[in-house]
Amino acid sequence: MEFNITLQGNIIFGKGTLSKVIELINHIGKITLIVTGKKSTKESGALSKLIDYLKDIGVNFVLFDKIEPNPTLEIVEEGGRVFLENGCNSIIAIGGGSSIDAAKGIGVYAIYKEVRPFLLGEKVVDRKIPSFIAIPTTSGTGSEVTKYSIITYNEKKLAIVSNFITPDYAILDPELTLSMTPNLVRDTGIDALSHALEGLFSLGASPISDIFGYEAVKIIYKYLPRSFAKKGDYEAREMMHFASCIAGVQISMSGTGIVHGMGYPLTIKYGFPHGFVNALLMPYVFKFELPSQYEKMAKITKILGFGIGNDYFDAEKFIEILIDFYRILEIPKNLKDLGVKESDLEIFADEVFKNERLKRICPRTLTFNDILNIYKNAYFGVI
Ligand code: NAP
Ligand code: FE
């Protein structure tokens, strides 16, 4: 056995833990930048609660509430300028993965006064960003514990990757997820599942990251349908918040894979939510990866209680389990019915093929035609 891992950040988990922000006063400083989206944290009351806690401990704040899904470089740079102009000492992100990812980028701007070269891989973040607390209100990305920031630039979703952008504190209060609609629960929950599965099958996986992956799959399989079906099911929402967090810890070690890479252009061009499009692609990608990862796929089938003992059959069964799971979650089967143009697939495949990092961690050698075939299978719904 051989591995080399880095674990980063503190995690505070539990009902009502939003109030724990008051115990972090030494990390916040005199003035903090609150980074959030345009609507949801105001409508749910999460933002006003946070502000009340900050007032209780005498912390001033500047509100940057312009984050939209798939945050752009422009908005991140604007947030960075607001941070510097107001002499902020720290950042508190409250919202979905988009707000937390944007806040990471804002932290990079606060140190280097630029973000673009880090996004393009021309420079590496080699210094700690300002003190950073992340408070997720969705259960999916795990961004509150990851070293990734996904930012849209020039119609592409690109990543800054650095341990120096991992939040210092993640406050996971499951109550903040109760306001999610069923579709948001589903789309974000499936993102967490895609992290757990891609993390398991990635060549970056290790025996430690796998522990988090198998556990996350087990929890999501049990609780996502419940969380999707019923808004007030606190236990299900709590377990999904836990699962997305541990899958985040996992992918910070293992990385994700081509499901994510192939999903990005579909999100940019057609606006499909990140997790939703990952869901659609997973069976087709995993069918391609099956010959090299059948033991792990078989192990998942066994963990979920469907194993018959033959690894190859059990691995095939894993794909069937996934498809059956999608029926409960009302996830469509193919890209064609969603209005995707077949002529786009070659353009998307070309973009994915140029991503060297994805090819490195893919468990099978990946050619342009492999990627195109996976897209075509997903397009026509051919497993
Ligand atoms: P999101 O884009 O942050 O939010 C989606 C929508 O959900 C927004 O309209 C938001 O509203 C709303 N929302 C958030 N919390 C809510 C709540 N509790 N109740 C009701 N509505 C709520 O969604 P996400 O799936 O969490 O994040 C996706 C982004 O994360 C993508 O850009 C993806 O690429 C990235 N990602 C990052 C990582 C990582 O490791 N960094 C991993 C996977 C994915 P408002 O805008 O009004 O807040
Ligand atoms: Fe994701």
Domain map of the chain by residue range? 10-177, 182-380
Question: What pLDDT sits at residue 240?
Answer: 98
Q: What is the 244 CA–ligand 2 centroid distance (Å)?
A: 10
CATH class of 182-380: mainly alpha
Q: C-alpha distances in angstroms, 134 versus 20, 155, 306? A: 12, 26, 37
Establish whether residue 105 lines the binding site of ligand 1, counting it when its CB lies within 6 angstroms of any ligand atom.
no
CA distance 250 to 207: 10
Establish whether residue 345 lines the binding site of ligand 1, counting it when its CB lies within 6 angstroms of any ligand atom.
no
Per-residue pLDDT of the chain (383 residues; tens, 9 = 90+): 878 888 889 999 999 999 999 999 999 999 999 999 999 999 999 999 999 999 999 999 999 999 999 999 999 999 999 999 999 999 999 999 999 999 999 999 999 999 999 999 999 999 999 999 999 999 999 999 999 999 999 999 999 999 999 999 999 999 999 999 999 999 999 999 999 999 999 999 999 999 999 999 999 999 999 999 988 899 999 999 999 999 999 999 999 999 999 999 999 999 999 999 999 999 999 999 999 999 999 999 999 999 998 999 999 999 999 999 999 999 999 999 999 999 999 999 999 999 888 888 899 999 999 999 999 999 999 99
Domain formed by 10-177, architecture: 3-Layer(aba) Sandwich (3.40)
Q: What is the 251 CA–ligand 2 centroid distance (Å)?
A: 9
Establish whether residue 146 lines the binding site of ligand 1, counting it when its CB lies within 6 angstroms of any ligand atom.
yes
Q: Whose CA is nearest to atom 19 of ligand 1?
A: 180
The pTM is what? 0.97
Q: Strand 156-161 vs strand 169-172: parallel, antiparallel, or unpaired?
A: unpaired
223 strand-pairing partners = none
For the CA of 149, the closest atom of ligand 1 is 41
CA distance 76 to 311: 47
Q: Whose CA is nearest to atom 30 of ligand 1?
A: 97
Q: What is the 137 CA–ligand 1 centroid distance (Å)?
A: 8
Establish whether residue 252 lines the binding site of ligand 1, counting it when its CB lies within 6 angstroms of any ligand atom.
no
